[in-house]
Structure formats: structure tokens, C-alpha cells
Amino acid sequence: MDPQDRKTESEAAATGSATADRPVAQLEPDGSLLLTGLPLAPVPERVDPAGIVFRGAPRTQPGPPMPYSITQRKMVWADNLHELIERAKRRQWNASTDIPWAAGRNVAPDLEDALAGVLTWMLQQEYAAWYLPAKFVGQIHPAYTEAGIFLSTQVVDEARHVEAFLKRLYLNGVGLREVSPGTESSIKGLLMQEDFARASFLLHVLGEGTFTDLFHLLIEISPDDATRQIMVRSLEDEARHVAYGVGRLQTQLSGEKDPDLLGQQFVEALEGRLSFTYEVSGLPPQVQEALAILAGGGRSPAAQGRGVPRIRQFIAELNENRKRRLLQAGFSEQVAEHISQLHIRSSGGLM
Ligand SMILES: [Fe+2]
Ligand SMILES: [Fe+2]
């Protein structure tokens, strides 16, 4: 290539116009380059579990067989993936420096104790949200790399939530509270899921859906500003994870002749959980009690007179929001209601 050609090509690249036979990447007006600006091969409906390269690579022979379990677009793709990837990168935060930790001092002992009970339980759920996407990332065929990129942002988000919750737990010396065996076996049941679509439904749609509502509540009832800021930041992360789960489910349901048949499979996954677990994405009684102490501002009868009704109301909001997400994803009213009811049962009852 002579220098003149090179200049012409670099000029073309700067403006985003195509060279003779190869389209170049399109830059955004501010000079940034998004994945959507690349002339990538279309996302295939399904691929063989083989090869270690992005879609569209020329090859003369088949790639080596690989233990990918996610080899269909409908299992993992969401139309909002690109937007979510960009949002995730823009909104990263630092649990060491972005939380006003000094504002978390001098909390009344009853409230600090109640908060520790809530945070210990939440911390355990964070491990589910952390380890489950981490487990599946290596099972995604590289043809669906964008999904792997997004789930990797979730892995970082959840690791940060664990870090932030641990810091708040130990900030005033209280630390972790007693672990409930039911919570652990319930989380184990989720982590042992081998089917990504079911795992994503249980985690992203049901579990993290509940968590976004819980973050909203904690923003309202946190006893201090450090905790409140943790909840504000985590809520934003969590909302992205739920948006992926709902987007993924929409993709899967839109390809089904009978979406409710798939709903039935998810119902079976929930019923399977019912046989040995009573928590994962609902709120166990001890957590509801601790939330009522935070909501009322203490343990006195007067405080409980305020706190208990607020948490009852919150549980009703949880159920409404869950059903709304199921309808939004594309389930019929009947299946959405059924899943919602099963979820309530698998959540260990209400206050
Ligand atoms: Fe989280
Ligand atoms: Fe999350």
C-alpha cells in the first residue's frame, strides 16, 4: 500500500465511510466507538458447540468441540444488550470511595442490629447473583459475546455489592449475624441450576426483581446515609440485571408458538424448588421482622405499630411488581398469576 492509499484509508476510517470493499467502523459523533458501530456478522439463531472465536470469522475447518451449553440466540440474547453494556460501564462505582462511610456512624443499637440481620441475608443472596452468571459465562458460545460481556459486568457489580455490604456490616463493629440454614440450601438450589434460561428466569427476573424492590424500600428506611447511598447505587446496578432478564425472556417468549408452554417449564422449576427450599427470592420471616424494626424506627410497640404495616404493604407491592414483570416479558395473565402465587409459596409465607 503506498502512503497515499494509507492516507485515504485513514481519512475514510475517521469519518466512518466505507473503503472500496470493506466497511469500516462507524464512530459516534463524540468520537467513541460502540459495538453497534462495528460491521459485525449477524447474530445466528443457533450454532454448533465448537470453536473459540467471535461470529463471522473465516475458517477452513471446523473448530474444536467445546462444552458450550448456550448455543441458541433465544436462550441468551436480549434486544437491550448493547444499551445495558454501555450503561454498566458508565455507572461503575467504588465501594471504598463513593460511599460516605462516616455518615454511617452513631446508629441506634436496635437499628444497627436489625440492619445487620437484613444485610447478612442480602449478602448471601449477592453470592447467588455473583456466582451464577460467573458459572455460565464460560458456557456461552462466542457467537453471543455481547451477552458474555454484559454478564461479566454483572459479575463485577455483584462482587462490589458483597464488598459494600461487608463494609457496612463491620462499620460499627456488629459484623455478620447468624446464618439461616434454609437460606444457604435455598441459594445452593439456585446455584446448582444447569439450564441457563431457567437460572436466568429465577435469578434475573424473580430474585433480582425482588431485590430492586427491596433496595427501593431500604432507600426509604435506612437508618443512615452511608447505608442509603449503598442502596441507591446498588439499585441502579440491579435494575440493569433485571432489564437483561426481562429482555432475555422477551426474546425467548417471542420465538415460542405457545409462550405459556415455556411458562409451564418455569413453573416446574419453581415447583422443584418448593420441595426443598423456601427462600431465594422472597423474604424470610426474620428478615421481614428486621425490616419492620428499621421501618418503624425501633422495637417499641409504637415503632412496631408503624413498621409492621409498612412491611405488609411492601410485600403486597413486591407481589404486584413481580406480576407486572411477568406480563411485561410476555406471559399470559393466567401464567403470570400462577408463577407469582408459586413464588409467594416458595418464599416462605408472608408477614
Ligand atoms: Fe447485587
Ligand atoms: Fe444483581
In this model, does residue 4 exceed pLDDT 60? no
Largest CA distance in the chain: 85
What is the span of the domain harbouring residue 268? 73-346
Flag whether 310 is in a domain: yes
Cβ-based burial of 280 (10 A; exposed 0-12, middle 13-18, buried ≥19): buried
For residue 349, the CA-to-ligand 1 centroid distance in Å is 23
Ligand approaching nearest to the C-alpha of 242: 2
Domain count, the chain: 1
* Selected residue with higher pLDDT from 86 and 343: 86
Closest of 231, 121, 108, 215 to residue 172, by C-alpha: 108
pTM over 0.85: yes
Flag whether 110 is in a domain: yes
pLDDT digits (tens, 9 = 90+) for 145-172: 999 999 999 999 999 999 999 999 999 9
The enclosing domain of 211 has a CATH number of 1.10.620.20
pLDDT digits (tens, 9 = 90+) for 91-130: 999 999 999 999 999 999 999 999 999 999 999 999 999 9
For residue 287, the CA-to-ligand 2 centroid distance in Å is 19
Residues 6+ apart with CB under 8 A from 118: 218, 287, 290, 291, 294
Flag whether 105 is in a domain: yes
For residue 8, the CA-to-ligand 2 centroid distance in Å is 47
Instruction: Determine the pLDDT at residue 278.
Output: 46
**Chain mean position to CA 257:** 27
For residue 61, the CA-to-ligand 2 centroid distance in Å is 40
For residue 129, the CA-to-ligand 1 centroid distance in Å is 6
Looking at every residue in the chain, the average pLDDT score rounds to: 89
For residue 84, the CA-to-ligand 2 centroid distance in Å is 13
* Selected residue with higher pLDDT from 93 and 273: 93
Ligand approaching nearest to the C-alpha of 127: 1
Buried/exposed code over 197-221 (b: 16+ C-beta within 10 A; e: otherwise): bbbbbbbbbbbbbbbbbbbbbbbeb
**Grid coordinates standing for 177?**
449475624
User: How far lies 161's CA from each of 124, 206, 301, in Å?
Assistant: 11, 18, 33
Flag whether 261 is in a domain: yes
Task: Give the 3-state secondary structure of 91-139.
Answer: CCCCCCCCCCHHHHCCCCHHHHHHHHHHHHHHHHHHHHHHHHHHHHHCC
